[in-house]
Amino acid sequence: MATLARLFDFTPGTIIRSSEVDSEFNQIINLLNGTSTNVQEFLQLSDATLPALKVNQVVTGTASSIISLQAAGVEKVKVDGNGRIHSTIAATASDPDISVASPATNAPFVVASTALVLNLNADMVDGLHASDIGSVLAGTFTSDLVISNENPMLTFEDTTASENDAEIELETDGTDQQLVFRRASDDQKIFRLNIDQGTAQFHNVAVLRTDAGADVDISVAVGGSTPDQHLTPKLYVDNRKTVWGVGAYFNGAISTVMKTGQFGVPKNARTFVAAYIRIIYQLGTLTGNTVVEVRRNGVSIGTGTLTNTATINTWYINNIADVELAIDDVLTWVCTTAGGHENVTVQLEGTQKVSTN
């Protein structure tokens, strides 16, 4: 395209013939009124503080235009009176509204705002492709997953039945942590791993049933711990511990000649401790006390007593000296004194420690 030529600074007193500058003046007129289609305007400025082009639109607002860029008479881009840039032509997949080319080491643009940018779509986010982000919904994590919070929790939601929802949470009581797996609907603990910071002990707790005292506590000593120091029954945050019980039933009016079946401690049982004898009856015309003795290998370890004022269907508990039972020990129940009680049940109860080997 042609550019304006031959224009020069006027020199005072110098005569300029119109024939010498008419064509140049006509180019300026045609450029300003939009008649020319082959004249290129070029502005050059060496002052860094002054803009090469300054346009002042005295009407402000979205409807007004400071600059309107057209192609074949159709407006494509405009700068409105509020200083915002608009592309007036709908973009296509191959022809976006804005295409910014920049070196790979520099950001093409900067959004200096913490406000949400509506409908902002991107294939890459912080070095991850959209297909990588989609793997959060279905796929495989290719790096470690960290949940950082005061009590970090991972929740599994069943979209078909919310009562099946489950949670895994790292809880703390101020000293130790418990990694708890529980049912979300009622906070029922299903599994708990206690992490004892002070003595490097790990406690695994599995629930056998829902009634109180039904947790089975398994304690394993690691590091330089003193052997067996955590093998006695431990009370945890829910005040539950391991319990067991085995009993005998005397049918009819109890007498001193009655015999019951014997119980042998299983070979795989370890460190059962007997601590209580409980006794109860269902019928009878009471004439005195009934005493039932529990023997281990023929030697008495304690007795349970029903007095002549005992109440039907009420348990009576005798706290006996703790007795550790060994594998293949034989337990027997013997009535030593009969007092008219009928249908008597005697139960030996205790706790279980866990072996270190």
Give the chain's length.
357
In a shared domain, residues 180 and 266: no
Close Cβ partners of 300 (under 8 Å, ≥ 6 residues apart): 293, 294
Close Cβ partners of 266 (under 8 Å, ≥ 6 residues apart): 327
Dump pLDDT digits (tens) for 298-332: 999 999 999 999 999 999 999 999 998 888 889 99
Dump pLDDT digits (tens) for 23-45: 878 888 888 888 888 878 888 88
Mean pLDDT of 101-114: 78
Structural domain of residue 313, as residue ranges? 244-352
Domain count, the chain: 2
Residue 96 lies in a domain: no
Name the DSSP class of 127: T
In a shared domain, residues 198 and 273: no
Q: Tokens 């590091």 map to which residue?
A: 223
Q: Given this model, what pLDDT does residue 90 score? A: 78
Residue 299 lies in a domain: yes
Residue 194 lies in a domain: yes
Cα gap 297→321, rounded to integer Å: 17
Rg (CA), the chain: 46
Is the sign of the CA dihedral 285, 287, 289, 294 positive or negative? negative
Task: With cut-offs at 50, 70 and 90, classify the pLDDT of residue 134.
Answer: low
Residue 102 lies in a domain: no
Cα gap 258→280, rounded to integer Å: 17
Range with lowest mean pLDDT among 108-122, 171-185, 237-251, 271-285? 237-251
From the list 242, 310, 324, 325, the residue with the least C-alpha distance to 278 is 310
In a shared domain, residues 303 and 251: yes
Residue 192 lies in a domain: yes
332 in Cβ contact with 264 (< 8 Å)? no
Cα gap 186→167, rounded to integer Å: 11
Neighbouring C-beta atoms of residue 192, cutoff 10 Å: 21
CA atoms within a 13 Å half-sphere pointing along the CA-CB vector of 92? 2
- 73 Rama class: left (phi>0) / alpha (psi -120 to 50) / beta: left
CA atoms within a 13 Å half-sphere pointing along the CA-CB vector of 219? 23
Strand, helix or coil for residue 164: helix
Asked whether the predicted pLDDT for residue 100 surpasses 70, the reply is yes
Dump pLDDT digits (tens) for 256-265: 998 877 888 8
In a shared domain, residues 163 and 200: yes
The distance from CA 54 to its chain's CA centroid, rounded to whole angstroms, is 57
Name the DSSP class of 30: H
Final residue before a domain boundary, out of 221, 236, 257? 221
Dump pLDDT digits (tens) for 65-76: 999 988 888 888
